[in-house]
Chain A
Amino acid sequence: MQSMNFWRAYARNKGAVIGLLIMAVVVVLGLFAPLIYPESPWDMVNAPFLGPMEEGSLLGTDTLGRDIASGIAHGARVSLLIGLTSTAVALVIGVTLGALAGFFGGWVDDTLMRFTELFQTIPNFVLTVVLVAIFTPSQGSIVLAIAIVSWPPLARLARAEFMALRSREFVQAAITTGQSNATIIFREILPNSLSPLIVSSSLMVATAVLLESSLSFLGLGDPNAMSWGYMVGAARTVIRQAWWMSFFPGLAILLTVLALNLIGEGLNDALNPRVARKGKA
C-alpha cells in the first residue's frame, strides 16, 4: 500500500524515471562487464587510434590500442563501487556524529560540531588529493578519502533532523514512558529522519563518482582498476586528434552523475510529498 504510493509519487517526476533507466543501464553494464568484455580493459586488442566503428571496435581504441567500450564497461564497476561504498561510509560517520550531537545537545553538540567544522573549512578536493597521496592510491584509500571529505554535510543534516524531532511530542512521550536513549534514537527518531538523509546521500553518490573521476584524471586513481577519470586524463593530450578517447568516458561520467541527481530529485518528491507539491502547484 505505502510502497505503491511511493512509486506513484516517484513516477510522477518524469526526469526521475529517466534517471532510473540510465542508472539501470550503467549498473547492468558494470555487473556484466566481465561477460561482455572478458579480456582485461588494459589489454592492447587492436590498432591504436581507431575511431568509433572502425575495424570492429565499437567506440574506437586509445593511444595504446586498448578498447574504449571495454574500458567504459569495466570503469562502471569502479565508479559505482567507489561511489556507493564511500557514501555508505560517509553515511555511517555523518549520521552517527550528527545523531549524537542533535540528540544530546550541550557540550556533546559543541564538541562534535567544532570537529565537523574543522573538516568543512578545508576544500574538499584538496583534502582528498592529500589523503590519497599519503595513503598511496588504492580502492580502499580512495573510498576512505572520499568518505572523510563527504560526511560533514550529512552530519549537519542528521543533527538538524534530530534536534527538530527531539523536541517533538512523540519523542517526549517516549521519554515519559521510560524508553532508553538507544530505543528513542533508533526506533523513534531515526525512522522519521530517514527521508532527507536518503535524498541527500543519493546526491552524494553522484559527488563521489565525480571525485573519483577527478582523482583518476590526476593520476591518483587505483593503478590496477580502469576508470573513467583515468581514461579522460590519459586521452587529454590527444583530444584534438582523437576526440572519442575522452568524449565517451566523459559522456559516461556525465550521464551517471545526471542520472543520480535525477533519482535524488525523484526520491525527494516521493519522500517529502508536501514540499514537492508546493514546488509544482
Chain B
Amino acid sequence: MNAVAVSSSSAPSPVTAFPNRQPLLDVRGLSIALPPSADRELAVDALTFTLNPNEILCVVGESGSGKSMTAHAVMGLLPVPSVRVAAGALLFKGNNVLTMSEPEQRALRGGRIAMVFQEPMTALNPLMRVGDQVEESLRIHTDLDRTARKARVIELFAQVGLPNPAELVRSYPFRLSGGQRQRVMIALALACEPDVLIADEPTTALDVTTQKQILDLIRSIQAERQMGVMFITHDFGVVAEIAHRVAVMRHGKLVEIGTADEVLNRPSHPYTRQLIASVPHAMGDRPPFTPSGEPLLLAEGLHKTFHVGGGLFKKGKEVTAGKNISLTIHPGETVGLVGESGSGKSTLGRSVMGLMKPDSGRLLYKGTDLLSLDRRAFRPFRREIQMVFQDPYASLNPRRMVGEIIAQGPIAFGEAPAQAMARASDLLAMVGLDASAAKRFPHEFSGGQRQRISIARALAMGPSLLIADEPVSALDVSVQAQVLALLDDIRHRLNLSMLFITHDLRVASRVCDTIAVMQRGSIVEMGPAAEVFGNPQHPYTQSLIDAIPGRGWEIPADLSHGEGVSA
C-alpha cells in the first residue's frame, strides 16, 4: 500500500534539473522471493521507486531490510534459482531489464549501470594488477585500442584522486590501502561512463577519515557527470552528508521516500522516526564528571610491538601497537578510547584483561601492577575486571546454554552452581531479557540480545571495571541505541568504571565522560568529553571530528531525546 502512495509523491525533486525527463531507473512493484527455508517469504515486497538523472538517492535500512537485494536485482547478481524476482519490473530508461536477453543485460551492467561494493578487500582480484582490472572493463565495453585504454585508465585513476596514477596502475591490490582500493573500485565503475552508479555501503568498511574522502569523491563525481547514484547505507550520518532523496526500507518494504530535507528533518513514518532517534548523538544533559579518590586504573608508559611474519632464518616486520600509552580511570568514570583501525586501542584493552602482555610499562589496578603478575596471581583480578566483546556472534559458545555461559565465571570462582544459576536469571532480567533465556542456546537470540547476554556474563563476576571493546559496532543502529542505553544505565546503577573502546566518535560522545584519542599507538589527546568534542586541540582529533558524517545535520529536536528507542 505504502509503495503506491509513495510513487506519486516522489516526483519533483528539487535537485533534479529536468523533472520531466524520464527517470534513469524505474522500479515498479519489485518483489524478490526467498527460498522456502528463509525466515520470510519475500526479501523485497512490492518495491516501487525511481532514480532520476543527476541525483543521489540514499536507500537506508537495517540489516535484512532488503536494500542490498534490490541493488543485486538491478545488477543481476541474485543467486538464482534460490532467490529470484517474483514480480514487478525494473526499467532502465524505459526498457525492462528483467526481460532483456542475457547479452543485452551484460552490456548494460558495467557499461550503463555500474556498482561499487562494500568490501574493497575482496571486490578486487588479488592476482591482477589494478590497472589491468580497470582496463579489462574498457576492453569489454568499448572499442578503444590498447594505448587509448592505458591512457584512459591513468586518467580515471587521476580523477578518483589516486596518488601517482602512472605508477599505481601497475600495483597489485594488496599494496593499496582500503581507501585506495575503494577508489580503484570507483574508477572501475566509472570506466564506461555509466548513467547509474549503485554503491552498496561503499564506506562501511573504511575508517571515518577515509569515509569522508570517499563520500566527497562520490559526490563530486556525481555532480560532474550528472549521474544517478543509488547509495545504500545504514548510517543516517552518511545520508545527511550526501543524499538528495532518501528511501527508507524495512523488512523488504519501502516505508518512506522523499527529499533529504523531508525525511531527515520531518520524518513522518514511525519507523523512520525511531531510526533517526537512535542515531548516536551526545546527550546534552550529561553532568560533567569530577574525578574523586584514587584512580582505579593507571596505565603508565605502555609499549607494545608486534612481530609479523618472519621465521627461523628471516626477520619479520615490526608493527608498533602501543607507544608510551598513559591513561587513568577513576571510580565511576567512563573513558572512551577512540581511534581508527590499527591505532592500538584494542591493545590497551587486551593488556588490561591479561589477554596480552605489553613489552614494557606499568598497569596499576588499585595500586597493584597487573603486568608483574603471572596467570595464577592475576586470577583474583578477573572478578574485578570484566570485558564485553565486539562480536556478539563470536563471543558466546554456541554449544552451551545461556545460563551456563553467564554462571560459568562465578562457578569457576567457587560459587555453588545452583546459586550461580539463580543469579544468572536475575542478571538476565537486569539486562532486559526473560529469565527463561537461561535454558536456551545463543543461536536463538538476535545480535542485540546476544550482546545483552554478553553484558550479563561480565556483570556476573561483580566487576568494578568493565572493558567494552567496540560493543555496538556489529549492531544495527536502533539496537545500538538500546545497548548503549543499557550500558549507561548499568554503570550508573552499579557505579562501574568503564573503558569504552570505539572507532565511532558519535557513540563515544553518547556514553563517555572522558575521551582519549589514539593515533598510531599513542594517545594524542585526552580530556573531558565536552572539551575534546567542543574544542579539540590536536590536529588529528580535529580531522576525526571533522570527518563525522552528517555533522551539519541536527537531529530534529522532538527526536533528540531518545523517543521511540524502546522496542
Q: Report A's interface with B, CB cutoff 8 A.
A: 168-170, 172-180, 183, 187-188, 191-192, 281
Contact among A169, A178, A188 with B413 in the assembled complex (CB-CB below 8 Å): A178
Residues of B within 8 A of A177 (CB): 382, 386, 408-409, 412, 457, 460-461
Instruction: Write out the residue numbers on chain B whose beta carbons fall within 8 Å of the beta carbon of A173.
Output: 387, 389, 395-396, 454, 457
Question: How many angstroms between the C-alpha atoms of A219 and B79 in the bound complex?
Answer: 55
Further contacts, 7 of them, CB under 8 A, given A177-B382, A177-B386: A173-B389, A173-B396, A174-B408, A176-B382, A177-B412, A177-B457, A191-B397
Give per-residue flags for B365-390: 1 if the beta carbon is below 8 A from chain A beta carbons, else 0: 00000000000000100110111011
Q: Given A192-B399, A281-B82 in contact, is the A172-B355 Cβ separation under 8 Å? A: yes
In angstroms, how far is the closest chain A Cβ from the Cβ of B394? 4
A173 to B395, CA, bound (A): 7
For residue B106, give the distance in angstroms from its CB to the closest CB of chain A: 22
Majority SS of interface residues in chain B? loop
Per the bound structure, the CA–CA distance linking A192 and B396 in Å amounts to 12
Which of A174, A175, A192 contacts B398 (CB under 8 A)? A192
A-B contact count (CB 8 A): 63
- B442 to chain A minimum Cβ distance, whole angstroms, is 9
Once A176-B386, A191-B399, A192-B397 are accepted as A-B contacts, the answer to whether A169 and B391 lie under 8 Å apart by CB is yes
A-B contact pairs, 29 of them (CB 8 A): A168-B395, A169-B389, A169-B390, A170-B395, A170-B397, A170-B398, A172-B353, A172-B389, A173-B387, A173-B396, A173-B457, A174-B408, A175-B355, A176-B354, A176-B385, A176-B386, A176-B387, A177-B382, A177-B386, A177-B408, A177-B409, A177-B461, A178-B383, A178-B413, A187-B400, A188-B400, A191-B397, A192-B398, A281-B82
Cα(A170)–Cα(B400), bound, Å = 11
Contact flag A180-B394 (CB < 8 Å), given A173-B389, A192-B399: no
Q: In B351-370, which residues have CB < 8 Å from any A CB?
A: 353-355
Closest 5 CB pairs of A and B: A177-B409, A169-B395, A178-B382, A169-B389, A191-B399
Of chain A, the residue at the smallest CB distance from B379 is: A178
In the assembled complex, the Cα of A183 lies from the Cα of B354 at a distance in Å of: 18
Residue of B nearest to A173 (CB): B395
Chain B proximity of A263: nearest CB distance (Å): 23
Chain A min CB distance to B378 (Å): 9
Q: How far is the CB of B399 from chain A (nearest CB, A)?
A: 4
Tell whether A170 pairs with B396 under 8 Å between CB atoms, given A175-B355, A176-B386, A281-B79: yes
Complex CA–CA separation, A180 to B79 (angstroms):
45
Contact among A170, A178, A180 for B409, CB-based, below 8 A = A178
Closest B residue to A189 by CB, please name it. B397
The answer for the CA separation of A192 and B457 in the assembled complex, in Å, is 20
Residue in contact with A180 in the complex, picked from B383, B391, B399, B412, CB distance below 8 Å = B412
| A188 with B397, Cβ < 8 A, contacts A183-B412, A281-B79 known | yes
Residues of A within 8 A of B389 (CB): 169, 172-173
Set of chain B residues within 8 Å of A180, measured between Cβ atoms = 412
What string of 1s and 0s marks CB contacts (under 8 Å) between B449-479 and chain A?
0000010010011000000000000000000
- A183 / chain B contacts, CB cutoff of 8 Å: 412
Nearest to A179 among chain B residues (CB) is B412
Known: A187-B400, A188-B397, A191-B399. A179 touches B408 (CB 8 A): yes
Expressed in whole angstroms, the Cα–Cα distance for A183 and B411 within the complex equals 12
User: Would you call B394 and A169 a contact (CB within 8 A)?
Assistant: yes
CA distance A169 to B382 in the complex (A): 16
Which residue of chain A lies nearest to B388 when distances are taken between CB atoms in the complex? Answer: A173
CA of A175 to CA of B395, assembled, Å: 12
Q: How many angstroms from the CA of A172 to the CA of B349 in the assembled complex?
A: 13
CA distance A170 to B397 in the complex (A): 6
**In the complex, A174 Cα to B394 Cα: how many Å?**
12
A277 CB, min distance to chain B CBs, angstroms: 9
From A194, which residue of chain B is reached at the shortest CB distance?
B399
CB distance from A167 to the nearest CB of B (A): 10
Chain A nearest CB: distance from B565 CB in Å?
26
B residues near A187, Cβ cutoff 8 Å: 400
Q: How far is the CB of B307 from chain A (nearest CB, A)?
A: 13
When distances are taken between beta carbons in the complex, the residues of chain A under 8 Å from B353 are: 172, 176
Minimum CB–CB distance for B166 against chain A, Å:
41
Residue of A nearest to B395 (CB): A169
B residues in contact with A188, CB < 8 Å: 397, 400
| A250, B385: Cα distance in complex, Å | 64
- Nearest Cβ in chain A — how far from B462, in angstroms? 12
Report chain A residues within 8 Å CB of B394.
168-170
Distance, CA A51 to CA B385, complexed state (A): 79
Residue ID in chain A nearest B350 by CB atoms: A172
Neighbouring B residues of A169 by C-beta, 8 Å: 389-391, 394-395
Contacts of B398 in A (CB 8 A): 170, 192
Q: Nearest B residue to A168 by beta-carbon distance?
A: B394
Q: How far is the CB of A239 from chain B (nearest CB, A)?
A: 50
The digit string for B422-465, where 1 denotes a CB below 8 A from any CB of A, is 00000000000000000000000000000000100100110000
Residues in B with CB closer than 8 Å to A172 are: 353, 355, 387, 389, 395
Chain A residues whose CB sits within 8 angstroms of the CB of B460 once the complex forms = 177
Max chain B C-beta neighbours (<10 A), residue from A168, A177, A192: A177
Task: Answer whether A176 and B412 are a contact pair too, CB < 8 Å, given A169-B391, A170-B394, A192-B397.
Answer: no
